[in-house]
Amino acid sequence: MTPKTRVYLVRHGEIAGSEVFRYNGQTDVPLTPKGVDQYRQLAERLKDTSIRACYASNLSRCELGAHIICDPLGILPVLRGELREMSFGAWEGMTWSELAKNYPDEWQARQNDMVAYRAPGGENLLDLHGRVMPVIMEIVERHRGGEVLVIAHGGVNRVILLDAIGAPFSSMFRIEQDYGCLNIIDYYGDGIPVVTLLNG
């Protein structure tokens, strides 16, 4: 059988202010107590795996969780800025209603093209894919045949999962990524990834 590299892909735990949707992007928003507890639950779920390495976004909502999960495993997380959430530039921290009011034309332009449109000073999904996937492929190659943990964000995880299943970027929001969720992707030596767990 073709050797595989297993990636445990986690979305960070619940963050402060999550009861109202905001484009937090790369703003460093803290975890809630529930978010910390979600990481503790993940640590329990993953304690008997063969994970030997961890890579995480360098935003605190991922870094803290990486330590919660990895300290019991004796693993030092590697922080990678490339795994940060998509940048929303001038829109960061704003709600949908605030954007519709303050940036009506730009907001409508994003609704018309969720893939290629960039918020002022921000990124689009193509930019995000170009930033994230080379790092994921680097991680898979470095840990060929092993198991590795990656802790990132909703947008980042969706891009990785879409790439794995060969789906277009326009399907971005057909994949759910709850706070503290776990996905598992097996990357085989022939280059074909298989998603074995989604939003678990």
Q: What is the pLDDT of residue 1?
A: 61
Q: What pLDDT is recorded for position 3?
A: 82
Closest CA to 69 of 198, 197, 182: 182
Q: Tokens at residue 28, please?
A: 């460093």
For the chain, domain boundaries: 4-20+28-87+123-197
CATH class of segment(s) 4-20+28-87+123-197: alpha beta
What pTM value is reported for the model?
0.96
Contact between 13 and 39 under an 8 Å Cβ cutoff? The reply is yes
* Alpha-carbon gap, residue 180 to 159, rounded angstroms: 17
pLDDT of residue 189: 83
Structure tokens at 113: 């093209």
The pLDDT score that the predictor gives to residue 166 is 96
How confident is the model at residue 2, as a pLDDT? 64
pLDDT per position in the chain (200 positions), as tens? 668 999 999 999 999 999 888 999 999 999 999 999 999 999 999 999 999 999 999 999 999 999 999 999 999 999 999 999 999 999 999 998 999 899 999 989 998 999 999 999 999 999 999 999 999 999 999 999 999 999 999 999 999 999 999 999 999 989 999 999 999 999 998 768 999 999 99
Q: What residues contact residue 46 under an 8 Å CB cut-off, 6+ apart? A: 8, 69, 73, 149, 182
